[in-house]
Amino acid sequence: MRISGALLALVLGACASAAGAQAPPARPEPPSMQDILDHSLASDWRPLDPANTLYMDLPAGRVIIELAADFSPAHVANVRALAAAHYWDGAAITRSQDNYVVQWGRVEGDPHDRGAAQAHLADAEYERAIGDLPFTRLPDPDNYAPQTGFTAGFPVARGGGKTWMTHCYGIVGVGRDNPPDNGDGSELYVVIGQAPRHLDRNLALVGRVVQGMELLSTLKRGTGALGFYETPAERTSIRIRLASDVPAAERVNLEALRTESTTFRTLMESRRNRRESFFVEPTGHINVCNVPIPVRAVR
C-alpha cells in the first residue's frame, strides 16, 4: 500500500529529499524554498505598514490584506477611509463563486446609514505610468501581457509604457458597475482560483491577501447566479479595521520579502527551474501567478 507519508514530498516536490524516498537521490538536491529563505538577510524583508494593512475579521479568524497604493491610490484611499469609518461593521461576504472570486460588502437592508462610499467615487485606475517603480522581471512569455514580474511586493504586468497589477490568486479588487469610473471600494473581491487575467486593466486592484486566505477560499459556494448566496443565513459576517486603528498589542506583525531583493530573485529562479530529483522535466519557465511572495510573522 502506498502511504501518505511517502507522497508528502512528491506532489509538491519542493523538499523531495526530506521525506519518504526509498533510494538516495542520484544528484544533490537543490535548495528548497525554505532553505533559500533561511539564508535571507534581515534587510531582504520589509515590515508591513499598519496604515496600509487591513484586518478583515471573520468568525473563523483573521484575514490580512496589504494595500497597493502605488497602483490605485484613489481607490486605496477610499478603502482606508471606509475602514477608518467602520463602514463595514455589519457587512458580510455575499458571494463565493468556485474557481473565481469571493466578494464582500454591505448588504441590503443594513439599518445603519454610513453612506460614506458614494462621496468618494474614484476614477478608473487600471494601469499607471511605469515611472520609477522597481521591477523584478520574469523572462518568460506570458499569455496576456508583453512583460510580467513584481513591483513592491505585488505581481504586475507591463506594456506600452504602462504597468498594472495582475489578477493572481489572493489579489483583492474593487467591484464596479458598467461605467468604468464608479467602483468606490465599498465592495471588494478576492481571486480564489485560476487567475482571471482577462480582468486585468478592467478593474481596480487594491491589495493582496497575505494571511488567512484559506478562510476565504474554503467558504461554501453560493448557489445563486455568479455564486451569490441565496439566503442571508449563508453569508459570513465580517468586520474590517485598518491595522493602525488596532491597539499595537493586538496587531499581527508581518514582514514581506522584498521583491527587489537578491533572495527573491534566487527564489524566483528556483521556482522557474525545478531541479529536485522528483522532477523529470525541470520546466524552465513560470507564470507570474505561480511565484510565491513570502510573508513571515515577526515577534
- Which residues, 107 to 126, sit near its own copies by CB under 8 A? 107-108, 110, 115, 117-118, 124, 126
Position among 289, 293, 294, 295 found at the interface with its own copies (CB under 8 A): 289
Residues 255-274 that bind its own copies (CB under 8 A): 271, 274
Strand residue runs (E) in the chain: 45-47, 53-58, 61-67, 91-96, 101-105, 128-129, 136-138, 147-151, 154-159, 162-165, 171-174, 188-191, 205-211, 236-242, 254-257, 295-297
In single-letter form, the type of residue at position 69 comes to A
Is 69 or 192 the residue whose CB approaches its own copies more closely?
Answer: 192
Contact flag: residue 287 with its own copies (CB under 8 A): yes
Binding pattern for the stretch 152-171 against its own copies, x by CB under 8 A and - elsewhere: ----------------xxx-
Residues 136 and 263: their CA atoms lie apart, in Å, by: 12
Residues 74 and 129: their CA atoms lie apart, in Å, by: 15
Binding pattern for the stretch 169-208 against its own copies, x by CB under 8 A and - elsewhere: xx--x-xxxxxx---x-xx-x---xxxxxxxxxxx-----
Residues 228 and 219: their CA atoms lie apart, in Å, by: 12
Q: Would you tell me how many other CB atoms lie within 10 Å of the CB of residue 224? A: 14
Least CB distance to its own copies at residue 52 (A): 23
Residues 264 and 257: their CA atoms lie apart, in Å, by: 7
Per rule CB under 8 A, count of chain residues that contact its own copies: 89
Position among 48, 58, 83, 106 found at the interface with its own copies (CB under 8 A): 106
Position among 35, 47, 85, 220 found at the interface with its own copies (CB under 8 A): 220
Position among 51, 141, 253, 269 found at the interface with its own copies (CB under 8 A): 141
